[in-house]
Amino acid sequence: MIKILSGFTGPGGSTVAFNNLVNLFNDNGMNACLYGPHEWDGITCNFKKEEPSISSEDTVIYHFRMPPNVSCKKLILSCHETELFPVRKIEGITYDAVHFVSDFQMKWHGVKGSVIPNVITKYTPSKHFKTKTAGIIGSVDRNKRVDVSIRRALDEGHEDIRIYGSITDGKHFSEDILPLLGSKVSYRGISSDMQIVYDTITDVYHSSKIETFNLVKAECKYAKVRYHEGEGNDTQAEYWDNEKILKLWNTLLNQ
């Protein structure tokens, strides 16, 4: 069995990525489950909120945590971060192989590994008329620079700006975002169904300092929502079809 152990399974890009990966594995006859400490309605895959028992027949993929202290068939570190999880600097990290989500990210860490992009959720374009509405999607923290996105959207004439995402930096939200909320800018919380969000917005503004893999940009492409990129936001990540992603994962799991 393929057991994916994540130290974070709350709302966020890595959780969406693992959710999609587990569904891809299971849809193709590969028994897989995601394990983590946080429950979220956005998780639609086989998921358990517990530390799993692991046998010598299991392949373990772990993320944003220390590796399990057990023997298994193969141990793979899947890294989706840069500064938050610097692979070379964290003591006690062990693995048989490392997975990164983009060439940019692998070069940033300076560790040799396998680059396999994330599985993209292909949201469908809305069939209904939409009034001009800007969305800002992602965790609300200093890296995402939501305040910069708000000002960019206001400068370009938007009068309905909606923020979607978990508040992971409360001080940043209270100091930098809260003063900007008002008749034109609203915080809409966490959405477990992004199709509904994309059905109601016409534009997305993104101003992150750094992105290892830009899920939002790819989602906008399929949802036919205009994507407004910020300076330094594009990491040149590749977007692959599911067949190619599955083929490379099969190679990594079995080599």
- Looking at the chain, how many residues does it have? 255
Nearest of 195, 169, 193, 173 to residue 185 by alpha carbon: 173
User: For residue range 105-161, what is the model confidence (pLDDT) as tens digits?
Assistant: 999 999 999 999 999 999 999 999 999 999 999 999 999 999 999 999 999 999 999
pTM of this prediction? Answer: 0.93
Using DSSP, state whether 189 is helix, strand or coil.
coil
Domain 2-119+239-254 has CATH 3.40.50.2000: yes
Residue 61 pLDDT: 98
Spatial contact of 61 and 253, defined as CB atoms under 8 Å apart:
no
Listed in order, the ranges of the chain carrying CATH 3.40.50.2000 are 2-119+239-254, 134-229
Q: What CATH code would you report for 134-229?
A: 3.40.50.2000
